[in-house]
């Protein structure tokens, strides 16, 4: 079987979930099954709910994990919706390795890469919004907003103007060529940040992450390890801030004169004071792991 994605921080993920010896783990982003397979091998008594919004990934993982048929449940769904369905299951672990898989990036028809002949970038092909509609139909203001917020591009007005002056675009390749002429930060392709911004918008990536964390925070889950692997600072900031909030006993507004919330709201403990990042050896073997960061929280 030709596996199109190398899982990041695999040893670290194994370690984080090593003590779970019964119940379920939710793999929110099963992708090509790398993390799930390793956990199923390591933890022989657990079952995994394997979720992904990409049907191609689900079909692949079903085949890859066939030998664990009686210990896996597959869900073609957005991870923001997964907990409501499994709220009554004994869930002791939640893993989300958010971002794009190598197959999504490398397969030209998916439209994520600079050489792609389509302009798509949807993780779920049923999504109405695609890169084509964002790039060709968004107003100047809306384009500027996403380039600024999701791409953190200083020159967002110039980039938006260039997109508008050259549209309509038929492919990611055409778009990348126009963006390349604008130049930008040294060492990174000038299309990298605009592509990141468009992809985040198309897939509502930050909204999904916020909703997943909110669903965990509002759940009644106990004794559950939550590990989120993110790939850029916008996501990492959300995870870091949420874990800090979860840890707090007092949830009174910051200006409150005295505490009247009961001071007993902590959901558990932050396990990783600093995020776990890949070792140099992993970065060499898998350069895409370079920007990954894992943060872990233990619900009490
Ligand atoms: C980095 S890959 C995961 C790779 C996987 N851990 C493995 O070992 O093969 C990220 C996956 O998350 C999925 N994904 C991203 N956002 C999602 C969401 N909101 N809901 C469900 N799946 C999502 C993508 O479709 C992609 O397959």
d(CA 273, CA 111): 37
> In this predicted model, what pLDDT tens digit does every residue of 33-58 receive, in sequence order?
999 999 999 999 999 999 999 999 99
Give the per-residue pLDDT at 254: 83
> In this predicted model, what pLDDT tens digit does every residue of 174-199 receive, in sequence order?
999 999 988 777 778 899 999 999 99
Q: Which residue has the higher pLDDT, 177 or 255?
A: 177
**Closest protein CA for atom 24 of ligand 1:** 100
Cβ partners under 8 Å of residue 78, min gap 6: 53, 124, 208
d(CA 298, CA 300): 6
Mean pLDDT of the chain: 95
DSSP string over 222-240: -SEEEEEEESSHHHHHHHH
Domain 10-101+205-299 has CATH 3.30.1050.10: no
List 295's β-bridge partners, or say none: 228
Give the per-residue pLDDT at 18: 98
CA of 54 from ligand 1 middle (Å) equals 8
CA of 241 from ligand 1 middle (Å) equals 22
d(CA 252, CA 294): 29
Q: Which residue has the higher pLDDT, 134 or 254?
A: 134
Query: Structure pTM?
Result: 0.95
pLDDT(75) > 80: yes
Confidence of residue 102 (pLDDT cuts 50, 70, 90): confident
CA of 28 from ligand 1 middle (Å) equals 7
CB 299 within 8 A of CB 221: yes
Instruction: Note the CATH number of domain 104-203.
Output: 1.10.150.170
Task: Please report how the helices 192-203 and 205-217 are oriented relative to each other, as an axis angle in degrees rounded to 10.
Answer: 50
Nearest-atom index, ligand 1, CA of 27: 6
Give the per-residue pLDDT at 198: 98
CA of 48 from ligand 1 middle (Å) equals 15
Q: Which residue has the tokens 């779920």?
A: 124
Q: Sketch the domain layout of the chain as residue ranges.
A: 10-101+205-299, 104-203
The average pLDDT across 77-88 equals: 96
Confidence of residue 160 (pLDDT cuts 50, 70, 90): very high
Give the per-residue pLDDT at 221: 96
pLDDT(106) > 90: no
CB 144 within 8 A of CB 160: yes
CB of 286 within 6 A of ligand 1: the answer is no
Q: Which percentage of the chain shows pLDDT scores above 70? A: 100
Q: Which percentage of the chain shows pLDDT scores above 90? A: 88
Q: Which two tokens stand for residue 79?
A: 């991870």
- For the chain, give me the number of helices (H) and strands (E)? 13, 7
Ligand 1 pocket test, pick from 5, 31, 74, 282 with the greatest ligand atom count within 8 Å of Cβ, gives 31
């Amino acid at each position: 079987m030709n596996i199109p994605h190398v899982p990041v921080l695999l040893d670290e993920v194994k370690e984080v979930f090593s003590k779970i010896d019964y119940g379920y783990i939710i793999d929110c982003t099963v992708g090509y099954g790398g993390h799930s397979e390793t956990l199923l091998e390591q933890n022989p008594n657990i079952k995994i709910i394997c979720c992904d919004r990409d049907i191609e990934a689900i079909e692949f993982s079903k085949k890859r994990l066939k030998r664990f048929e009686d210990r896996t449940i597959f869900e073609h769904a957005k991870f923001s919706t997964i907990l409501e369905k499994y709220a009554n299951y004994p869930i002791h672990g939640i893993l989300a390795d958010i971002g794009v898989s190598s197959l999504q990036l490398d397969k030209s028809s998916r439209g994520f890469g600079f050489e792609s002949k389509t302009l798509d970038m949807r993780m779920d092909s049923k999504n109405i919004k695609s890169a084509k509609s964002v790039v060709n139909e968004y107003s100047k203001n809306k384009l500027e907003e996403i380039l600024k917020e999701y791409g953190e591009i200083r020159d967002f007005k110039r980039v938006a103007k260039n997109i508008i002056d050259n549209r309509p675009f038929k492919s990611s390749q055409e778009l990348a060529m126009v963006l390349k002429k604008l130049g930008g930060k040294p060492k990174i392709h000038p299309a990298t940040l605009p592509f990141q911004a468009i992809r985040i918008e198309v897939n509502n990536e930050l909204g999904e992450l916020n909703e997943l964390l909110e669903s965990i925070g509002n759940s009644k889950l106990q004794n559950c390890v939550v590990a989120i692997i993110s790939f850029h600072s916008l996501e990492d900031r959300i995870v870091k801030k949420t874990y800090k909030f979860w840890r707090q006993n007092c949830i009174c507004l910051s200006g409150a004169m005295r505490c009247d919330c009961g001071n007993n709201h902590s959901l558990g403990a932050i396990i990783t004071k600093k995020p776990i990042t890949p070792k140099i050896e992993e970065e060499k073997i898998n350069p895409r792991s370079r920007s990954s960061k894992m943060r872990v929280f233990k619900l009490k």
